[in-house]
Structure 1
Amino acid sequence: MDFWSRLLSHTSLSSNTSRETAARDPAKRLHRFEREYGQLLQIWRNSSNLSRDFEAAEKLEIRLHELTTILSDESRRPLPHPCIQFASIKQIYVPIAKVATTSYNEWIIKEAVHFFATLIESEEEAFVENHNFSSSLTTLLVRITGQNSVRLGRDTEVKVVELAFNITTKMRLQPHILDVWFRRLPLFYILMDYIQHEGRVGDFARTGLLYIIETASSSVALEQWIVESDLSTLMATGLGALYSQLSRKLHPTSNYEIVASCAPEFQAHLDTFLSHLLFWQDVLNHCRSVEVKSTLLEHFQVIFLQQLLYPSLLESSDIDGGSSVAVITYLRRILESLDHPDMINLILHYLLALPDADTSRTPAGESTSVSAARKRKSMDLATMLAEKQDPWDPLLFNLVDLALACLRSHSQQTIHVTLQLISSILKRHHRYAVLTLLRTESLHAPASTHRTSGAHDQEVEYLMTLAGSIGGQDNFDEVYENVLRDAMTRLEAHSCSLKLVAPKVSTANHDLPAIPDSLPGAPPDVSTHTLQPDDPLLVTLLDILETFFVNPVDTNLSVTETLTDLAICGYMGVEGWLVRHPKHYSYEDEDDEAEAEETALALAASSAGPESPEYEVAQRLLAQRRCRRRPRWVASSLPRLLTVLKKLSEQLAGYRETIPRFDDLLQQRREAFQTADAAPVLPFHTPQQPQPQPQSQQQRRGDSQGPGSYNTPDRGSMDDPRGDSPARPSGLEGFAQRLLSELGTPSRTGSPRPGSGAAPREFPLNYDKHPGAAGRAAGEDGGEDGVPFNLGKAVQEQGSGPGQQPEAGGAGKQKGERGQEEEEEETTGESGEDDEMAEAFTPLEDSMVSVSHVLTNALILQSFLMELAGIVQVRAGLFNEVRFV
């Protein structure tokens, strides 16, 4: 090192040492601070226009930075802190705020914001309790975020909103400072302007607003101000604006006017909307004021629910290319994302046209002024609604009417998404489905309607026999054990099951855990009930089930899921629609041995005398003997569901005789799914089709809670009750994961998994309506399993053969007539759906479908049969539904 280098190094070290020594000395530190502040004022006064004087602006920025650095360093050192005291006594924040607001320079603004944040974080001199400090800071924030201010960069914007958030944190921890900041509540509107932003800016804004609303309960004046403010209107219109940005038409594939459901831009819009919806939920969770909460809910109902969501459902149609698919999907995602009881009650109460509750009474203890303010706000809302009154009303056409109409649609995609919506309501909000979606009747004496042990064993064996007749080489005992575990999980996790399966609190106190169910207008607690056989929803589901082998795979997965969801509520009696009703039991004449045994028991009872213990034992044995008897299996007494399942099994037996090597192909398909299930999770991609966009697990799940909410800046989650671990998927759901991984289609519960490399070509899924196209697909696949197969013709041929039923052919004819009408619409151009989507999602019984399609649906049917058997068996033990005596 030469002389000059050593000299410069020594000089630099000496300077740093001198500065560190001065920083440790409070007097020298204060002297330096005063000097920097004086220079700042001098530069500001000597500059006439900082927006044009770049040299002066740069010097001001440096001085501000030095002042902030000194304050930040001093706050970490031992007392005394003369610089912080000087800032408080001299109120230097007043001119500094003026410097920043008049500079129109982002760098100066950023340093000023940092300066104020440093004073607040010092927690000395009670800056947050000082009126002048709050006035200067709020003026600064209003000016720099206003329309006439300089455009702030992303980093500066984050610092500004973070500073506002820090103030709300202080207000939350120290409610006594509300009076200081209440007069300066433009802070409230500043946060409102940023709640829809993404990233940290939106996180800080939303959380800060939550803290203000949470604090409102400690101040009547603040509570009344929030009620009278534009908070409810802005939040509701903001939510409506995000909903309006969602695509009106939605399909798995896109064209010039239909958006693909897996498109990144669509997913981004949907995530933003659902995130804002979850913010609504968090606001209600944090709000301790009844009046503020009521005001928010009123605006949610009038502005969003009545003016946007309901009209979009009402005006939707599957004729114009998928608007029904879109709006029904959005409603399902809304219901799956929310778990706040008030919001759920508001949505379903309105859409299902439930009777209104009496809400005229004012809650005890509420402030008169706040209540009066809310009434004025409600009147303004009612006036606005009267001016825009739509002639349509849920009393004329509600969600039940829409769902049943969509299930009769010609669009298979509309049927699929409607089934998903119904399934979601049945699983998560079953109390709203009773007496609305479902036509039920109460069971006042449930024990008398329970099946006997003999009938129960007979029905479980019947379902398992049908499942076994489909074939396969797996260890079905092990498979069924897994099905039973899955059924137990689903039954215990159902929303109605807690009161049935929760353990007693103690031997002396048999009260069950309290469940909040006293919401205004909410339906009553679910009581024991059962489906009527002519229930329109059940009839429609069974109509769809009858055409099982020609339905699209996703439709079959959805209809089987919905049928199992009907059976997992503990209060739902399954006798009469899923299994036989005891009133229809009839018995064959007993054989000699059984008759002799029963006669001996009767004689023993009569000889012992009615008061003796032997008589009671003999009577009990006789009752057990009678309950173990198996009723005659009479076709006329079977529920339609069992009849349809029997017909499907017979159809499959006919296909086994018609299709060469059917059992080998079925086993190969099963093994392909098992291979896919065991493979690592990778994006599904083949050269023949584009790689689908990645989707989060919650977007793929049918019982998802919606996309993830925003992150709270100061903690990992915001009291989010949605963090429970998901229930283990059922056997059918696990199968669906393997199936849809090969299709490249999102499953209803699991992550997409790839199949083996040859599986997509070896097992093509071809629903093409045109024989030529089907033949081309089969030729390309080049295997026996790819040969197109005319199911309509096969069903009709089987109807005249031994062991076949002509009803299947009749169903095929009816379906064919509907298919002819669809083809005429397409020919004349009246249908808005593109031909490719119609061919992919609307296979008909008179259309050419691949053998692969039959094989796939056969495995779905087998899983469904085993799952039904598992649910019936687990219910028997979990809910004591079987009589043994």
Structure 2
Amino acid sequence: MDFWVRLLGGSSQKKKQAAPNNPQQRLARFRQRYNHVLQSWQKSSNLASDREALGNIRRGFQSLTTILNDESRSPAPHMCLQFAAASQIYTAISKIAATAHDEGTVRDAVAFYNALIDSEEEDFLENDVFAASLMNFVDRTIGSSSMGIGEDIEADIVELLFGIAAKIRLQPEILHVWFTTTSADSERRLANQKTDFAGVTQKEDFPLCYQLIDHVHHEGRIGDFARTGLLYIFESASRSMDLEQWIVNSDLPTLMATGLGALYSQMSRKLSILHPAHDMPPILLLSDYTDMQPNPQAENFFTPDFQSHLVTFLSYLTFWQDVLEHCRSVDVRITLIDHFQALFLQQLLYPSLLESSDADGGSSVAVLTYLRHILDALDHPELVHMMLQYLLALLDYTAATTPRSPAAVKRRQSLMLLNVPDKEDDRLNPSLFNLVDLVLGSTASRNPQTVIAALKLTTVILSKSHGYALGSLVKVMNLHHKHHHRTVGSLNKELELYLNLAIDLAGLDGVDEAYENYLKDTLSSLETHPCSLKTLALPSTSQKSQGYFDSTEATARDVDPHQLLPEDPLFQSFIELLLTFLTNDVETNLALTEAIITLGSCSQLRLEGWLSVDPADYHFESADLPEHFSNEKLRDMYMADRFPTWSPSATPQLLACLQQLQSQVDALRRDIMGWDEHVALRKNAFRFHQDLLEDARLATPQTKPVRPPSETPAGTWTPQIPKHVLDQPRTPSRAQSPRGRKETLSGSRNTPTASPAPQPSRLGGQTLAGSPGRTASPLSASFANNRQTSLLSDVDASLAQLKASQLGKRRIRFRRQAGSKEVEVMLSKFQPPPSEPLEGAVEGAETAEEDIQEASLLHIITNVVILQNFVLELVALMQVRASLFNEVRFA
């Protein structure tokens, strides 16, 4: 019987099954593999070039790792782990991997260290020798003594360091192993520091922290793991006074601030924001946009290289916010903020603003674009306050009252000494030239790109930080009365005026659908505006429990009821641009209308004087009340429901400007045969092209990213790792981009210009960026994609043919006398044929008296369609505000 059992292999199976579960046999195999690795290492005179020895060592490393992983899943005793801890075999592993200069060997060594740490036995993370061995291995592979390895292996090593930082966060008692400084050493180094703003470099005290900060600037997995690991280190500072003071006195804040500045400096000094011809939205194709010439010296915003630099910079800026948000140490937090202000804001960002120029064809565009993305990405109240308070030259009404330790006070004094120039004349003072001056000067520029960049930056400031814009970017007058005096009759009269104006501009086709869409979009925009949150909040929800962030939230400016001053320079620049709406480039008009709508979205800003008529200018015809209105309440309601009249001088500035544009369109309608048909065809072209784009998006399956399970206990903050994988386009949401002008011009491109959750914009009742509302089968999606591609090609060909036709070639001139608020359309019978530019003094004399702008008929018709939608959005804004904020009286 035994013979047949042995023949069938039964006894050998028992041996194979028993071997892994026998601790003694497992230990014997482990020691045998380890001794074989040591022999191969010792026998090789030059390990880096001995391929046979490297192969034996790699197989040995893999066997050791496999045995450790198997043992961790087996019942105790774990004799291999005990042997590894007692013999400190990790020191030999570290030396062998560092001297091998082989990427495969390094990868296997990293797996071995992971097996030791994941075992959670023998307290490897609490062992000084293990920590020193591991950090020596890391320094030789990716540190200052780096052998030069691939990014994938480097990411594995940084992930290993991230795991250790996560363990320190959850087990503060092991911090002393990885952070070894003493109080005596700290006092000695602080005494030697004197007034050095950079702080003390102390890599030997906390090499783990320095390795992480050396990799926070990387893209992809390396940067994600390094930033989150360093975030855990800063979060641990609140539980260790020694670590807290060490960070304050070290050069870590300096390295973080200078790293941010280095990423900012890598971006181009001159920038072009012109859309590439091969990927241009249809709304730009149906205009003169292609005639705009880019600056050959400027880098294009839409190139992959620039997008990569911008995304990396914004990721590091987000990391700054994460550190400040989750750092519970007051000293560390204010020290970081001081360095951000001194080394990035004052020493780099503001000088770039000061040195920007519209004359060199790109530096103003670059600075305005960078500022827009920075302010759009910033959400931390202290950083927002610091930047806008400085760049807008505002008085710091929230003087620093947070108590600081002597070390933090000394660091701040050192930073302040850094900013003191040798000569008083060399001092950079925002009170002499600040962001307000740059924006106002840029909106009056002759370069459309500069105007667009300034308008987009203005929109971000008005939408996210409206309180800081008041009194600086926007000149207003505070109102002491909170009650509204407009009547429902005046509202209805004004809505009727604006609606009739919109219909007169481009016809009735599509108006009902477009207006309905704008009502929904405007409601979402107003409800999510920062000023509306306070206006619409219930009394019970305004009470918050005392917490850490109460002091930081208090830095945000409260916005009280206010009224726009008629002579406000920013609004006057809006009016100047609006007067030339028909000849402006399309992107300028989209940015302009978005800025105006954003200005009117503040619940505390009264519309009187610029968008609606001041109630003081109402005139009512005297009329006898009906007899049944003897009731006083009914009489008051009847009086409030009457339509008022007002003198021409009381017409709101925006309405007067729109009426001037209406007169220009009327002149074109009288001069050009079939004008209304041309406008209707243009609206249909937009509708057809955007329907195709929407159908193409609907036919494309979209998968929602799945978040990995959390490795930390419930209730703790968990970083989104890896961020570059999780940040995928999501389902569009109305609340985040009410009008969708960004999506209009960025399409489906994955660029920082596009909102992460774009809201479809409407033009003539149709979406400019479709939003998925249903799913399609793969078969129908494939068929639809082929059909869309064919139809889009036909449409593009028809657009090119249209631009080459007589309609596309015809150009219209507009003349405006110097200092006049009226623009005259030079009709066909008065318009001279194109000629060569006038010479010398004659040309100078003509331009001094009048400003002549020219655009193609195709371009003008496109702007008329945009103008109609803008007026409809203004009507929706007035109506929704009146209902949401109770802005009119019904009695």
Matched, 1:809 2:824: yes
Amino acid paired to 1:416: I
Corresponding residue number in structure 2 for 1:4: none
Q: Distance in 2 between matches of 1:713 and 1:348?
A: 29
Corresponding residue number in structure 2 for 1:245: 266
Q: Distance in 2 between matches of 1:66 and 1:532?
A: 78
Q: Distance in 1 between matches of 2:856 and 2:643?
A: 41
Corresponding residue number in structure 2 for 1:552: 585
Where structure 1 has 5 or more consecutive residues not aligned to the other structure, the ranges are 1-9, 605-617, 685-710, 765-776, 797-804, 829-843
Distance 1:311 1:266, change over 3 A: same
Corresponding residue number in structure 2 for 1:636: 649
Q: Distance in 2 between matches of 1:149 and 1:284?
A: 31
TM-score by length of 1: 0.80
Retained in 1: the 8 A contact 2:579–2:821?
no
Distance 1:190 1:258, change over 3 A: same
Give the drift of 1:880: 0.8
Distance 1:570 1:823, change over 3 A: farther
Q: Distance in 1 between matches of 2:520 and 2:49?
A: 74
Alignment of 1:842-857 (within 5 A): 846-857=852-863
Matched, 1:267 2:267: no
Amino acid paired to 1:856: T
Retained in 1: the 8 A contact 2:477–2:564?
yes
Corresponding residue number in structure 2 for 1:541: 574
Residue among 31, 36, 44 paired with 1:34: 31
Give the drift of 1:441: 1.0
Give the drift of 1:511: 5.0
Corresponding residue number in structure 2 for 1:687: none
Corresponding residue number in structure 1 for 2:208: 187
Give the drift of 1:93: 2.0
Retained in 2: the 8 A contact 1:669–1:763?
no
Distance 1:646 1:731, change over 3 A: farther
Give the drift of 1:665: 0.9
Matched, 1:396 2:393: no
Amino acid paired to 1:278: T
Corresponding residue number in structure 1 for 2:317: 277
The CA deviation string for residues 351-377 of structure 1, in whole angstroms up to 9 with x for no partner, is 0111124645443xx7xxxx2222222
Amino acid paired to 1:116: Y
Retained in 1: the 8 A contact 2:579–2:657?
yes
Residue among 360, 380, 386 paired with 1:320: 360
SS of 1:791's partner is: strand
The CA deviation string for residues 733-775 of structure 1, in whole angstroms up to 9 with x for no partner, is 47x86688799998896676899555556557xxxxxxxxxxx
Retained in 2: the 8 A contact 1:249–1:259?
yes
Give the drift of 1:71: 0.9
Corresponding residue number in structure 2 for 1:375: 409
Matched, 1:626 2:626: no
Give the drift of 1:529: 0.8
Corresponding residue number in structure 2 for 1:610: none
Alignment of 1:645-664 (within 5 A): 645-664=658-677
Distance 1:875 1:555, change over 3 A: same
Alignment of 1:233-632 (within 5 A): 233-251=254-272, 252=274, 256-357=296-397, 359=399, 361-363=401-403, 371-386=405-420, 390-447=426-483, 449-505=484-540, 511=543, 518-519=551-552, 522=555, 524-590=557-623, 595-597=624-626, 618-632=631-645
Residue among 150, 153, 165 paired with 1:153: 150
Q: Distance in 1 between matches of 2:745 and 2:507?
A: 17
Give the drift of 1:587: 2.0
Give the drift of 1:209: 0.8
Amino acid paired to 1:544: L
Retained in 2: the 8 A contact 1:762–1:786?
no
The CA deviation string for residues 525-567 of structure 1, in whole angstroms up to 9 with x for no partner, is 1111111111111111111111111111111111111111111
Give the drift of 1:220: 0.5
The CA deviation string for residues 388-426 of structure 1, in whole angstroms up to 9 with x for no partner, is 884331111111111111111111111111011101111
Q: Distance in 1 between matches of 2:795 and 2:479?
A: 50
Give the drift of 1:385: 2.2
Q: Distance in 1 between matches of 2:750 and 2:466?
A: 31
Corresponding residue number in structure 1 for 2:780: none
Give the drift of 1:49: 4.1
Give the drift of 1:256: 4.1
Distance 1:538 1:713, change over 3 A: closer
The CA deviation string for residues 825-870 of structure 1, in whole angstroms up to 9 with x for no partner, is 9x99xxxxxxxxxxxxxxx973442211121111111111111111
Distance 1:350 1:725, change over 3 A: farther
Q: Distance in 2 between matches of 1:860 and 1:63?
A: 71
Q: Distance in 1 between matches of 2:505 and 2:9?
A: 87
Q: Distance in 1 between matches of 2:364 and 2:376?
A: 18
SS of 1:147's partner is: coil
Give the drift of 1:463: 0.5
Amino acid paired to 1:469: D
SS of 1:148's partner is: coil
Retained in 1: the 8 A contact 2:617–2:646?
no
Give the drift of 1:334: 0.9
Q: How many residues align?
A: 774
Q: Distance in 1 between matches of 2:267 and 2:647?
A: 53
Retained in 2: the 8 A contact 1:504–1:512?
no
SS of 1:51's partner is: helix
SS of 1:265's partner is: helix
Q: Distance in 2 between matches of 1:547 and 1:752?
A: 27
Q: CA RMSD in A?
A: 3.8
Retained in 2: the 8 A contact 1:191–1:209?
yes
Alignment of 1:813-852 (within 5 A): 846-852=852-858
The CA deviation string for residues 7-42 of structure 1, in whole angstroms up to 9 with x for no partner, is xxx999998985554222221111111222223333
Distance 1:520 1:339, change over 3 A: closer
Q: Distance in 2 between matches of 1:161 and 1:438?
A: 48
Amino acid paired to 1:298: D
Matched, 1:117 2:117: no
Give the drift of 1:141: 1.9
Where structure 2 has 5 or more consecutive residues not aligned to the other structure, the ranges are 1-6, 181-204, 277-293, 698-717, 761-767, 771-787, 844-849
TM-score by length of 2: 0.80
Matched, 1:171 2:184: no
Give the drift of 1:638: 1.0
Distance 1:520 1:488, change over 3 A: closer
Q: Distance in 2 between matches of 1:566 and 1:621?
A: 36
Matched, 1:865 2:868: no
